[in-house]
């Protein structure tokens, strides 16, 4: 739906306009966290992204090999095309088109698979991070935790992303759930 992001932002601002006065009057605490950045900065998030990059590099090598075959076929048609019989030339053209189609299909498939691998691995990590964030927010009597990307503006004083990353790394290494000071 076009404009869904705008509608979501306007709705979020409307809700914030309603909630922040109540929060400030009740003495509540508000946190903001950038989950995407937090995931990419954690030790495990970096490991996941590195693993995806390794797979991407391996697939890139495979795709380069196919692209090289296409280039060789293209040169054969350009340079030696006149030496081929019309049927052979037509067969080379068909082979070139098939290989080009195959390359595009493999590129799309590879991109989709890599994105899915990344999303699956990060989803597990994100679930653990959100669980830790919920425990910490509860321990600190936080009234609301918002995603930073849904806000047009927030004070840096309420952004707990870096502290969440530090706490998550410590928690994943087996230490007790740390507190965000």
The pLDDT tens digits for 74-118 are 888 887 767 778 888 888 889 889 999 999 999 999 999 999 988
Whether 18 is covered by a domain: the verdict is: yes
How far is it, in rounded angstroms, from Cα 99 to Cα 31?
A: 53
Q: What is the pLDDT of residue 86?
A: 83
Whether 16 is covered by a domain: the verdict is: yes
Structure tokens at 181: 């000071």
Per-residue pLDDT for 25 more than 80?
Answer: no
- The answer to whether the CB of 134 falls within 8 A of the CB of 101 is no
pLDDT tens by residue, 29-39: 888 899 999 99
- The answer to whether the CB of 118 falls within 8 A of the CB of 52 is yes
pLDDT band at 2 (very low <50, low <70, confident <90, very high): low
| 40-49, 51-60, 70-79, 95-104: the lowest-pLDDT one | 70-79
Structure tokens at 95: 């082979």
Whether 34 is covered by a domain: the verdict is: yes
pTM of the model: 0.61
How far is it, in rounded angstroms, from Cα 113 to Cα 117?
A: 6
Whether 110 is covered by a domain: the verdict is: yes
Number of domains in the chain: 1
Whether 180 is covered by a domain: the verdict is: no
Reduce the DSSP state of residue 179 to 3 states and report it: coil
Whether 178 is covered by a domain: the verdict is: no
pLDDT band at 7 (very low <50, low <70, confident <90, very high): low
Mean of pLDDT values over 25-32: 71
- The answer to whether the CB of 43 falls within 8 A of the CB of 169 is yes
User: Which is higher by pLDDT, 23 or 136?
Assistant: 136
How far is it, in rounded angstroms, from Cα 123 to Cα 110?
A: 20
Whether 62 is covered by a domain: the verdict is: yes
Whether 19 is covered by a domain: the verdict is: yes
Q: How many contiguous H segments (helices) and E segments (strands) does the chain have?
A: 5, 2
Domain with 165, as residue range(s), is 4-172
């Amino acid at each position: 739906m076009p404009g869904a992001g705008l509608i979501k932002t306007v709705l979020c601002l409307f809700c914030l306009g309603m909630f922040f006065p109540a929060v400030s009057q009740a003495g509540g605490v508000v946190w903001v966290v950038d989950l995407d950045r937090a995931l990419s900065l954690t030790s495990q998030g970096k490991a996941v992204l590195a693993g995806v990059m390794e797979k991407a590099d391996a697939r890139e090598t495979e795709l380069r090999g196919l692209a090289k075959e296409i280039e060789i076929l293209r040169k054969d048609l350009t340079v030696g095309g006149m030496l081929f019989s019309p049927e052979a030339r037509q067969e080379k053209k068909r082979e070139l088109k098939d290989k080009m189609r195959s390359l595009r299909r493999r590129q799309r498939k590879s991109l989709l698979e890599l994105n899915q691998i990344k999303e699956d691995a990060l989803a597990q990590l994100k679930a653990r991070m959100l669980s830790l964030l919920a425990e910490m927010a509860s321990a600190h009597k936080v009234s609301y935790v918002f995603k930073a990307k849904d806000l047009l503006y927030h004070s840096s004083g309420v952004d707990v992303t870096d502290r969440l990353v530090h706490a998550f790394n410590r928690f994943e290494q087996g230490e007790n759930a740390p507190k965000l000071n």
